[in-house]
Structure 1
């Protein structure tokens, strides 16, 4: 997905090609999906009509590269909804300010930094997006596991995000390795690799390509699967039996920001009841206690207790080993 700046104005949300950020606005970098950003910003504007916000949307990997490249001359005020495994990079944590965001004290310790540099009230989880019409046309059996995707019949029928460019790609690879163990995990990924038609830079593209019938299976996001099913596409959301990868989406304030009050105000809003209610409509994973899954999630087949399908992910390990895992993946499967 191309980089986008979403500028919140008095009348509407304008979306334009990436350009220099606006001097007097609160500048936010995010890796949230573009469709989500537009929805959330519309609600933020209603709640805070006097606050001008510019949002630059980047993939997980590109956001990290930009942050580090700008370390000597920071451009952003806020990081909003970025993979916690990326946020926990020591080079990134050095750039973050300890800030008390209202409501984060209610989050479990594993969903916030002890020093207040980040918190994660939302997250995302993976899923297989299976086009049921194409599946039937080709006489294929519904896959219920990664192992099923290794069947020869799925040759060139699968899309997956590249873990070196997409946080979604990394969460899938990381989940397989943590659930099965490194040796067995790589063996399984190696067995599926010959059937891959393409590795993408976008986490949502595999699902979007599958829903339109270009491919049978898109290894992608539960959010995109739920949205696609709600919109009427012939799609099934499948959680692999080996365990589903998931990621927390962390937020925080850059230490270099000269608009920390405005930054705190925005992040306080993201923890408000109104924002959390909105997140529950669009996110498969909300870490704030209480509440019910959305109707769209239930209709798409998201279990009431998602812990029953999640892989046993250790985020400290995820963060500490990501460079090693990405390098090995590139060596094995890079195209």
Structure 2
């Protein structure tokens, strides 16, 4: 099964919404998937897919950054048949590199073009908001105001005061 290119992101969400199976990938009773949701969500999706289509999904729960690193390392012989949930930049870059097979899901007919690629290589479940959060008590103790933009964080006074996810593992940290 590893010889097939990876399907991307929300393709599985689309699969759940329609009844006709996809071409040759479904010749097997199981597929493997890199999944970027929480373990609980991944397991629930895998169960839905198995119940609806009769295909076992062997899910590998990873962060977006870890999924992207694996795709780059494994190409062109991917160790998963599908990717479900990771970042827009990874979706776009992976499509440019030819990592994904196109599939035009009838479940996505009528969905705004902003949420799917024109060539059918990826689909998006939605959008994300990135927030700046601060400890109001600590800010008051230091006499600082909450930063209003990411640019504000370049001020040297914030050195050693900022916590962010590691870009090595988090797709949202790039």
Fold match by TM threshold 0.5: yes
TM superposition outliers: structure 1 runs of 4+ over 6 Å: none
Conserved 8 A contact 1:28-1:78: yes
The answer to whether the 8 Å contact 2:115/2:126 transfers is no
Gap regions ≥5 residues in structure 2 = 1-27
**Which sits farther off after the overlay, 119-128 or 62-71?**
62-71
Measured in 1, the distance between the counterparts of 2:29 and 2:145 equals: 55
- Find the counterpart in structure 2 of residue 241 from structure 1: none
1:29 aligns with 2:8: no
Confirm whether residue 81 of structure 1 aligns to residue 98 of structure 2: no
Q: 2:40 is matched with which residue: 23, 38, 41? A: 38
The corresponding residue for 1:71 is 75
Distance 2:44 2:95 in 1: 32
Separation (CA, whole Å) in 2 of partners of 1:30 and 1:95: 16
Q: In structure 2, which of residues 111, 117, 136 is the aligned counterpart of residue 107 of structure 1?
A: 111
Q: Which runs of 5+ in 1 are unaligned?
A: 1-22, 171-335
Q: Which has the higher contact order (CA 8 A, sep 6+)?
A: 2
Aligned-pair CA distance for 1:158: 0.5
Q: 2:57 aligns with which of 50, 53, 60?
A: 53
Q: Is 1:62 the counterpart of 2:66 in the alignment?
A: yes
Aligned residues: CA RMSD? 3.1
8 A Cα contact 1:25 1:53, kept in partner? yes
Residue by residue over 1:278-317, the C-alpha shift from the partner in whole angstroms, topping out at 9 and shown as x without a partner, is xxxxxxxxxxxxxxxxxxxxxxxxxxxxxxxxxxxxxxxx
Give the drift of 1:63: 1.9
Q: Which of these residues, 98, 101, 104, is aligned with residue 97 of structure 1?
A: 101
How do 1:150-299 and structure 2 match up within 5 A?
150-163=154-167, 166-170=170-174
Kindly tell me: are residues 151 and 58 of structure 1, through their superposed partners in 2, closer, same or farther at Cα, counting changes over 3 Å?
same
Bigger strand fraction: 1
CA shift for structure 1 position 129? 2.1
User: CA-to-partner distance for each residue in 1:225-248, whole Å, 9 max, x for gaps?
Assistant: xxxxxxxxxxxxxxxxxxxxxxxx
Shift in alpha-carbon separation, 1:30–1:46, aligned structure 2, 3 A? closer
Q: How far, CA to CA, are the matches of 2:45 and 2:61 in structure 1?
A: 18
- Is 1:129 paired with 2:147? no
Asked whether the equivalents of residues 31 and 57 of structure 2 are also in contact (C-alpha less than 8 Å), the reply is yes
SS of equivalent residue, structure 1 residue 119: coil
**TM-score when normalising by structure 2:** 0.64
1:61 to partner: Cα distance: 3.6
Is residue 35–residue 42 contact of structure 2 (8 Å, CA) maintained in 1?
no
Q: Is the 8 A contact 2:42 2:59 kept in 1?
A: no
Given candidates 119, 122, 126, the residue that maps to 2:123 is 119
Name 2:148's counterpart in structure 1.
144
In 2, distance between residues paired with 1:75 and 1:141?
48
Relative to the length of structure 1, the TM-score reads: 0.37
Aligned residues: 145
Relative to structure 1, is the Cα distance of residues 149 and 113 closer, same or farther in structure 2, using a 3 angstrom cutoff? Answer: closer
